[in-house]
């Protein structure tokens, strides 16, 4: 099983834990691999135990088809930006995984594992009021990030975990910093498209409540500008039906 070299090194290291008021001493491996593993086009995500914490390790592996220096620069930058975006989200009080370790030269990022169910899978089981509340909350999350110049990059219902009833944003792998108005609009557009493609029967309520939440943080004028840009972006599509570009909310 392919493992990041820097992660493999940590698997060989031992750390000493002191537990409880009696300071009971126990030695453990710094990193212990678990069975769950996901392989994507850009990275391998591995469930691990990191310093006794249930976590995931995300390793952007080398791409043999890219020039070595360009590949190293790309992986280091994407890892740095993802970590920075997570830290900004945490500083804003947005529920996201806790950042535990970063090695951008290796392309490795370790974060806490968020236990729960994907919003994508939960939507069919949620009542309208609960679904509206969750989407409104997601709108506040995205507006908060956007106000700090951060875009998530892939805010779909597959990247939201409901943990103890609280929506958590996960996977900031496509995040960007210093976002432009177009970047903000693309972020919102991606959420809308995920709703339209996966939850069409709940589309109106999910969009409306998301916009309500977004507006509550971004304000009327900023929201208006972003939604106008979303509409323009949606009309750029070559094969988009009138229904798909129709805005389901009022300005």
Choice among 103, 104, 154, 187 that is catalytic: 154
Kindly give, in sequence order, each residue whose CB lies less than 8 Å from that of residue 248, ignoring residues fewer than 6 positions away. Answer: 203, 204, 207, 208
Q: Can you tell me the distance from the alpha carbon of 194 to that of 207, in angstroms, rounded to the nearest whole number?
A: 11
Q: Can you tell me the distance from the alpha carbon of 25 to that of 235, in angstroms, rounded to the nearest whole number?
A: 63
The count of other CB atoms within 10 Å of the CB of residue 170 is: 22
Q: Find out whether 91 and 34 touch, Cβ atoms under 8 Å.
A: no
Q: Find out whether 175 and 83 touch, Cβ atoms under 8 Å.
A: no
Q: Find out whether 156 and 210 touch, Cβ atoms under 8 Å.
A: no
End-to-end CA distance of the chain: 52
Catalytic residue at 154? Answer: yes
Q: Is 153 helix (H, G, I), strand (E, B) or coil?
A: coil
Q: Find out whether 187 and 150 touch, Cβ atoms under 8 Å.
A: no
Residues designated catalytic: 154
């Amino acid at each position: 099983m392919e493992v990041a070299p820097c992660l493999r090194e940590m698997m060989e290291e031992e750390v000493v834990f002191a537990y409880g008021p009696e300071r009971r001493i126990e030695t453990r491996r710094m990193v212990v691999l678990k069975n769950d593993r996901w392989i994507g086009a850009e990275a391998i995500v591995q469930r691990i135990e990191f310093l006794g914490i249930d976590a995931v390790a995300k390793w952007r592996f080398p791409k043999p088809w890219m020039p070595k220096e360009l590949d190293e620069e790309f992986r280091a930058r994407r890892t740095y930006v993802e970590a920075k975006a997570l830290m900004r989200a945490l500083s804003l009080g947005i529920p996201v995984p806790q950042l535990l370790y970063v090695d951008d030269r290796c392309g490795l990022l370790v974060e806490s594992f968020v236990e729960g169910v994907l919003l994508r899978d939960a939507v069919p089981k949620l009542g309208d009021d609960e679904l509206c509340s969750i989407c409104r909350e997601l709108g506040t999350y995205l507006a908060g990030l956007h106000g700090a110049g951060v875009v998530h990059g892939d805010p779909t219902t597959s990247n939201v975990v409901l943990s103890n009833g609280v929506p958590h944003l996960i996977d900031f792998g496509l995040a960007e910093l210093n976002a432009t108005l177009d970047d903000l609009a693309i972020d919102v557009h991606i959420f809308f498209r995920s709703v339209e493609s996966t939850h069409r029967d709940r589309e109106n309520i999910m969009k409306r409540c998301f916009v309500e939440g977004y507006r509550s943080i971004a304000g009327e004028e900023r929201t208006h500008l972003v939604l106008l840009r979303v509409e323009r972006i949606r009309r750029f599509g070559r094969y988009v039906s009138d229904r798909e570009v129709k805005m389901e909310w009022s300005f």
